[in-house]
Amino acid sequence: MADALGEFEQLVLLAVLQLDADAHAATVRQTIADGARRRVTRGALYATLDRLTTKGFLDWEVEKSTPERGGIPRRRFRVTKSGVAALRRSYNAVRTLSRGLERVLREG
C-alpha cells in the first residue's frame, strides 16, 4: 500500500505545486502560512521536506548561489509523479467522504 499523506504533508505538496519554479523552503513556508493561516516552524517544514523526499514524493535541485544570498545556494523543490498520485488519492478520499456535507462544512 502506498504511503498515506498527513495533513501537513498535503499542504507542503500543494504549496510546491502552486509555487512551481519558485518552490524554495522560504516560499513554501510563507505560502502555507498565508493559505492555511497556520504558523509553520522551520524545523517542521524541513523535516517534512526531507520525509517527502525520502518517500519519493518530492525531488529537489540546488540552485546556483547569488551575491544577494551571500553565496549560499538554495534548494528548489518539485513534486514527483508519485507525489501527484499520493495527492490525488488524498483529494479523492476527502471529496468522496465530504459528499452531502456541503451545508455542514460551508463557512459561516
CATH assignment of the domain containing 11 = 1.10.10.10
Q: What is the distance between the alpha carbons of residues 57 and 33, in angstroms, rounded to a whole number?
A: 21
- Domain membership of residue 106 (yes or no) is no
How many domains, the chain?
Answer: 1
- Domain membership of residue 72 (yes or no) is yes
Segments forming the whole domain that contains residue 84 = 7-100
pTM of the model: 0.88
- Domain membership of residue 105 (yes or no) is no
Instruction: Reduce the DSSP state of residue 79 to 3 states and report it.
Output: strand
As given in the structure block, the three cell numbers for residue 66 are: 547569488
CB-count exposure of residue 72 (10 Å: 0-12, 13-18, 19+): exposed
pLDDT at 42 over 50: yes
C-alpha closest to that of 13 among 82, 64, 68: 82
pLDDT tens digits, residue range 58-96? Answer: 999 998 777 776 777 889 999 999 999 999 999 999 999
Q: What is the distance between the alpha carbons of residues 10 and 86, in angstroms, rounded to a whole number?
A: 9
- Domain membership of residue 1 (yes or no) is no
Residue 39: its pLDDT value, please?
A: 95
Q: What is the distance between the alpha carbons of residues 23 and 37, in angstroms, rounded to a whole number?
A: 19
Q: Where are the alpha helices (DSSP H) in 1-108?
A: 7-19, 25-36, 42-54, 81-98, 102-105
- Domain membership of residue 108 (yes or no) is no
Residue 72: its pLDDT value, please?
A: 79
